[in-house]
Structure 1
């Protein structure tokens, strides 16, 4: 189930007309310009659809902590970005998505680059697209380059009508 398209999904559709080797770069550039913090941290978008997002953050100096791994705040940014982008793909243009709650448990030390995969079910997409105001818990998995999940994250996103 997908809607005709909101502004965000139309932008993503335009990037998919570019040659495959440029699509990820274009998505990352567009979102990094619009969402400054994600651009500063260099959150890379590899896939974005109504149902799923796949993002990475490289273990670069600018996002490292004192022990040389990705900083806790950068991990939270990755989880928030992965979930926010797919909610944003589904929220109609007359509504605004906002993060309502972030619950993050740091369970292991991260090694290297981090990868995020977030999903929405068809029922969640239906709810977002047809309910004027509501909230949804978005599933997200963060793994490091060894395949370990250094954090467990739960993101609750809400949407409300835009103010006139």
Structure 2
């Protein structure tokens, strides 16, 4: 089992454990701190990340900025990849294609679902991420290319 998954599972049993895990992730990869994410689910093949709509992540028309959604998609996709690949493998994102479907006017949830991806082989993996608003409307999609190699 990957180290990040063990840490998440241990911390999520405690009050505020998921917030603490999210904070630790942002300490390791500081740029993600700009969106103040909360990792709410993490398991092999699946990750869910939430952000609150607040001034810091909005644009000139008071919707969640496109790059904030890119950040949360990369965080969800990266964490999901990290806990899904073999213990002796490494990964790095090499590309991302995004679509802005609808204005993001509320808090957001990003879900990376890699349950149908073959994580046991090396090579490029296309990781789908969907971002929805509080009403469940799809506002953003991403397909992140993750290059997986044996360490």
TM-score, with structure 1 as normaliser: 0.83
Question: Is 1:98 aligned to residue 92 of structure 2?
Answer: yes
* Contact residue 56 and residue 115 of structure 1 kept, 8 A: yes
SS in 2 for 1:150: strand
Q: Give CA deviations for 1:76-122 in whole Å, capped at 9, x if unaligned.
A: 1111111111101123444321112211111211111111111122x
Q: Which runs of 5+ in 2 are unaligned?
A: none
TM-score, with structure 2 as normaliser: 0.89
Partner residue, 1:142: 131
Partner residue, 2:76: 82
- How many residues are treated as equivalent by the alignment? 151
CA distance, structure 2, for counterparts of residue 108 and residue 22 of structure 1: 32
* Contact residue 111 and residue 146 of structure 1 kept, 8 A: no
CA distance, structure 2, for counterparts of residue 135 and residue 67 of structure 1: 36
Q: Which runs of 5+ in 1 are unaligned?
A: none
The structure in which a higher percent of residues are helix is 1
Partner residue, 1:28: 22
Partner of residue 49 from structure 1, selected from 25, 43, 53? 43
